[in-house]
Structure 1
Amino acid sequence: MNANFFNQIAQMSITGALQITVLQGTDDNLIVSVLLQNEQCGDNAKHLIPPLTLKGTAEELDGGFFQSIVTPIEQTSSLLLNMESYLKAQEQARKQSAMEKEKADKEKKEREAKEKKFNEAMQKASALADEGKYREAFTAVPDVNRFPDYAEEIHKRKDELARHFAPNLFNANPIV
């Protein structure tokens, strides 16, 4: 009987449940199936990893069991951990991508709403100017501070409307 069986298992670098099945084979041979399962791994590809199967007499398995399973089982453990890390990174990338898309969509909607407000204000100013209400049209033109992207257009429109005002006795140039 091998007294350090569990010590050797404990020394292995594995994460998950190690399942060992022993079957009595034909003649004096034993068939040992070793499967590492890691429930933390969400990738269904983990189910494609077959169990490690050893066949031999009890004496042969006593002498070479751990030398035969340590490397493949540790590699399987590493693979399962990497698969889970990959899935988590992929999910994080998907979330980031969705967040960036959502952020871009939100900025686009805000920009479109702002542009719509600007256009509505400019149309209102034009309608008032068409009615000859130049001072009301002048005040209807949007404020440059609210729409800095349209500053040139706003100044130009205010200049056009200010020309229709009666001359100011104190200042020959109207305040824009």
Structure 2
Amino acid sequence: MLHIDSVVGDRADHELHHRLHHLEHAQAVDEVFIARADMDRRRLRVTTPKGEDLAIALPRDQKLFDGAVLFIDDTRAIVVRAEVERWLRLQPSSIAEAVELGYHAGNLHWRVRFEGECLLVALEGPADAYYARLDNIFGGRRIRSALVTEQAAA
């Protein structure tokens, strides 16, 4: 198991980008995909697609981000990639429905963001579970909804 105790840098940094470019030609760059919900964690265990186990324990002043270089030497490198994030876009049809939706989203500790008159809920499980919870809350009243997939913000 490889122990990671700090972020080496950002793959966009000129020097690191140059080193990574050469390693990529040798297929020696391993990208570890981390869920957006885990990007704020300081300690976690993950396995790279090439099968390397990582134990990540970052200091308080560092955090993971898309493009974070966790390890690099002359023969290989490991870089963080943020997984694609899925959102459920909910559009209430009235102010009362919007207030009720916001109240329940807060009580359920859903991670949300706002886009105009829509509430976007980060999906950290199957979409059907969120739809079922909404049906229980609104008793069959329908809130317009749509699934949205996008690259997570770094």
Q: TM-score range by the shorter chain?
A: under 0.3
Higher-strand-fraction structure: 2
Structure of larger gyration radius:
1
Higher RCO, Cα 8 Å, sep 6+ = 2
TM-score if structure 2 supplies the norm length? 0.22
TM-score if structure 1 supplies the norm length? 0.20
Higher-helix-fraction structure: 1
